Amino acid sequence: MKNSLPLLAVFFVAGCQVQSGDSVVFTARQGKFVHELSSRGDVFSQGGTEIRCEVDGSSPDGTVILEIIAEGASVQPGDRLVQLDVSAFKEELLQQQIFCNGLEAALAAAAGEREKAQLSLIEYQQGLYPEEQKAVENELFAAEQRLKRATHQLEAVQSGTKSEENPADDVDTLRFEVEMAKRDVEGAKTRLSVLDTLTKPLRLKQLEGAVQSAEAAARAKETELSLHRERLAKIEKQIADCTITAPVAGVVFYANAPGRTEDDEILIGEGVPVRRQQVILRIAQLDQLSVCTEVAESEIAQLQTGMPAVIHVDTMPDSVFDGHVSKIHPYPTQETRGTTATKKYEVHVAIDNPSGTLRPGLTAEVVLTLAELDRAIQVPKTSVFNENDAEYCLVRSGSRWKLRPVVAGPSDGKLTVIREGLQPGEKVAIHPLQHRRQASP
């Protein structure tokens, strides 16, 4: 402590003097500046086709996979990929076919009853009613003729003289015949009127009602049969959908969760049930591969789509692939969203002209060049500080610190480029805030 006191005093007396030694200063240097961002991720097929289960499972767990193509196999359109269990659907199909056959028989019977009712209506309109009408009209005509003849005879008798040939009792008889003929005429007219105004409408309503009832019964059977035929067609489609074929050419990959280990539950495989719309496979297009990686929030602002990238695949250490940033997700990942941890953003890097040896699921390292400058003046990132909305460095001038305004450029987290304000060889404080009070303008 005795040795420290004089030094401490000298420090305060000196005011702007610089401490001895070079541990607090850095000599600004000029040279090539490269800021690279390295991030790891998984290769995936950007243009892959998802193969989903289109079957409504007969049980809550879904439909069991009986056969499935080997993962990594190359397929062509029409190749069989998956065979699901159809046993339950075939049993349901048989029952539905039997039920539809019964409905077809019932519909045929209903159609027969409808035709009988229609024919009965036509028979009455065109046959029975005209016959009844003609018979009553004939009765009326005969009665009118009898009345006419009896009336003529009565008038002849009444105009003559009583004699032995025309006794008085003949007049009474003729009068009786005239009266009976009148009654026959009135009776025939009444029957004809009743036939046209009552009997015919009533009979037509009965027959038309029978037709409508038979038609409704037939329509009901037709509707019921149509619904059950639709059900039959749906079951047949379910059976057809149990055989899944490739819609496009490519390489097959199971839709298991990324990062699954052998100890995890198997998601896709023979004997495993799948539900409707569950993704079973993905057919990858090997000419459209990308790397899905994550970038920290502090660096995401420096990225932009189209930025070139270099890609190294772990299983191919001697190969280097070119690529470019194809997508930057606008929101943090689900795992880092809403937490105090460092936010990360998903970034897709497309692989330019991938070779046929690359496969989805491989682990890769993506290297992005965020900045590259020749003959750039560089100082430690800690040497630049902000004050009053401006950037400064503390530059050593002899034994004193000088406050120097600068214009800073890109930084790689360790070194910062100085665009204006410094010259190569000038010495700056590594931790300027420790010496700020000692600096002069």
Instruction: Identify the CATH number of the domain defined by range 48-85+243-283.
Output: 2.40.50.100
Average pLDDT over residues 128-136: 92
Structure tokens at 180: 């009976």
Highest mean pLDDT among 4-8, 60-64, 194-198, 380-384: 380-384
**pTM score above 0.85:** no
Q: Does residue 236 register a pLDDT over 90?
A: yes
pLDDT of residue 7: 32
pLDDT of residue 170: 76
Average pLDDT over residues 105-113: 94
Average pLDDT over residues 398-407: 94
pLDDT of residue 20: 41
Which range has the worst mean pLDDT, 68-72, 157-161, 367-371?
157-161
Higher pLDDT, 424 or 44: 424
Q: Please say whether the dihedral angle defined by the alpha carbons of residues 119, 122, 127 and 133, taken in this order, is positive or negative.
A: positive
User: What mean pLDDT value characterizes the chain?
Assistant: 86
pLDDT of residue 17: 37
Percent of the chain's residues with pLDDT above 90 = 62
Average pLDDT over residues 314-323: 91
Edge-to-edge strand ranges of the sheet holding 250-254 = 49-52, 279-284, 250-254, 74-75
Domain boundaries, given as residue ranges, for the chain? 16-42+286-438, 48-85+243-283, 89-240
Which range has the worst mean pLDDT, 165-174, 202-211, 213-222, 259-268?
259-268
Position 162: which residue type? K
Q: How far is CA 37 from CA 322, 337, 367, 382, 413, in A?
A: 15, 22, 6, 20, 11
pLDDT of residue 312: 94
pLDDT tens digit string along 338-353? 888 889 999 999 998 7
Q: How confident is the model at residue 167 (pLDDT cuts 50, 70, 90)?
A: low
Provide the β-strand partners of residue 371: 35
Q: Does residue 259 register a pLDDT over 70?
A: no
Q: How confident is the model at residue 286 (pLDDT cuts 50, 70, 90)?
A: confident
What whole-number distance in Å separates Cα of residue 320 and Cα of residue 81? 33
Position 139: which residue type? E
pLDDT tens digit string along 36-74? 999 999 998 877 789 999 998 777 889 999 999 998 898
Q: Does residue 410 register a pLDDT over 60?
A: yes
Q: Which fold has domain 16-42+286-438?
A: Elongation Factor Tu (Ef-tu); domain 3 (2.40.30)
Q: Which fold has domain 89-240?
A: Helix Hairpins (1.10.287)
Q: How confident is the model at residue 284 (pLDDT cuts 50, 70, 90)?
A: confident
Q: Does residue 430 register a pLDDT over 90?
A: yes
pLDDT of residue 105: 96
pLDDT tens digit string along 115-126? 999 999 999 999
Highest mean pLDDT among 134-148, 234-248, 287-301: 234-248
CB atoms within 10 A of CB 214: 20
Q: Does residue 266 register a pLDDT over 90?
A: no
pLDDT of residue 171: 79
Helices (H), 270-318: 297-300
Q: In 3-state terms, the chain is what percent helix, strand and coil (to 5)? A: 40, 35, 30
Contact 408, 418 (CB under 8 A): yes
